[in-house]
Amino acid sequence: MMSIFTGRHSRAQAIVCAQVILCVLLTARALASEPGLSLEQTRTYALQSDPALVSQRQLEQAFRQDSAASRYWPNPKIALNAQNFPTDSWSFEQEPMTQIQLGISQMLPRGDSLDWQAKKQSLMAGLSHETQSLRMRELRRDVSLLWLEAARAQAAEQLTAEHLQHLQQQAAVLNRRYRNASGLNGSSGPQQQDLLRVELETQRIRERLLNLQQQYQAARQRLNEWLPPALASAPLQLNDEPLFQPSLAFATAMADDQTLAAILMQHPLWAQTDNRIASAAADIELARQEDKAQWGIQASYGYRGEDAMGHDRADFVSLGVSVDLPLFNGERNQRKVAASVRRREAEQTRQQLLLRQLFSAVRNDWAQYQLQQQRLEFYDQTLLPQINRQLQAVKNSYGQDRDDYNDVIRAVMERLNGDIERLNLLREWHKTAIRLEFYAPGFSSELPPVSAAQRQE
For residue 2, being part of any structural domain is answered with: no
**Do 192 and 335 belong to one domain?**
yes
Q: What is the maximum span of the chain, computed from C-alpha positions, in angstroms? A: 154
Q: Which residues contact 44 (CB under 8 A, 6 or more apart)?
A: none
The answer to whether 393 and 408 are in contact (CB under 8 A) is: no
Task: Report how far residue 417's alpha carbon sits from residue 391's, in angstroms, rounded to the nearest whole number.
Answer: 13
**Do 394 and 423 belong to one domain?**
yes
What residue numbers bound the domain in which 90 lies?
74-107+293-325
**How long is the chain?**
457
3-class DSSP state for residue 414? Answer: helix
What letter would DSSP give residue 347?
A: H
For residue 45, being part of any structural domain is answered with: yes
Residue 187 has pLDDT above 70, yes or no: no
Task: Report how far residue 431's alpha carbon sits from residue 14's, in angstroms, rounded to the nearest whole number.
Answer: 40
**Do 403 and 348 belong to one domain?**
yes
**Do 297 and 174 belong to one domain?**
no
| 304 phi and psi angles, rounded to 5 deg | -120, 145
For residue 277, being part of any structural domain is answered with: yes
**Do 271 and 373 belong to one domain?**
yes
Residue pLDDT, tens place only, 60-105: 999 999 999 988 898 899 999 988 888 888 888 888 888 899 999 9
**In the chain, how many domains are there?**
2
**Do 320 and 336 belong to one domain?**
no
Domain boundary among 325, 341, 372: 325
For residue 1, being part of any structural domain is answered with: no
Residue 292 has pLDDT above 50, yes or no: yes
The per-residue DSSP string of 159-216 comes to: HHHHHHHHHHHHHHHHHHHHHHHHTSTT-----HHHHHHHHHHHHHHHHHHHHHHHHH
For residue 376, being part of any structural domain is answered with: yes
**Do 371 and 279 belong to one domain?**
yes
Task: Report how far residue 306's alpha carbon sits from residue 46's, in angstroms, rounded to the nearest whole number.
Answer: 79
**Do 212 and 244 belong to one domain?**
yes
Q: Give pLDDT, residue 158.
A: 84
Q: Give pLDDT, residue 378.
A: 92
Residue pLDDT, tens place only, 325-384: 777 777 788 888 899 999 999 999 999 999 999 999 999 999 999 999 899 889 989 998
**Do 153 and 204 belong to one domain?**
yes
Residue pLDDT, tens place only, 127-140: 999 999 999 999 99
Query: What is the torsion angle, in degrees rounded to the nearest 10, for the CA atoms of residue 223, residue 229, residue 233 and residue 236?
Result: -50
**Do 103 and 129 belong to one domain?**
no
For residue 145, being part of any structural domain is answered with: yes
Question: CA distances (Å), 403 to each of 23, 95, 194, 378, 394, in order?
Answer: 22, 132, 12, 29, 7
For residue 171, being part of any structural domain is answered with: yes
Q: Give pLDDT, residue 239.
A: 56
The answer to whether 232 and 224 are in contact (CB under 8 A) is: yes
CA 327 to chain centre: 53
**Do 60 and 93 belong to one domain?**
no
Domain boundary among 308, 325, 342: 325
For residue 384, being part of any structural domain is answered with: yes
Domain boundary among 302, 325, 348: 325
CATH code of 153's domain = 1.20.1600.10
Q: Which helix (H) or strand (E) holds 11?
A: helix 7-31
pTM equals 0.73
**Do 152 and 221 belong to one domain?**
yes
Task: Report how far residue 348's alpha carbon sits from residue 221's, in angstroms, rounded to the nearest whole number.
Answer: 41
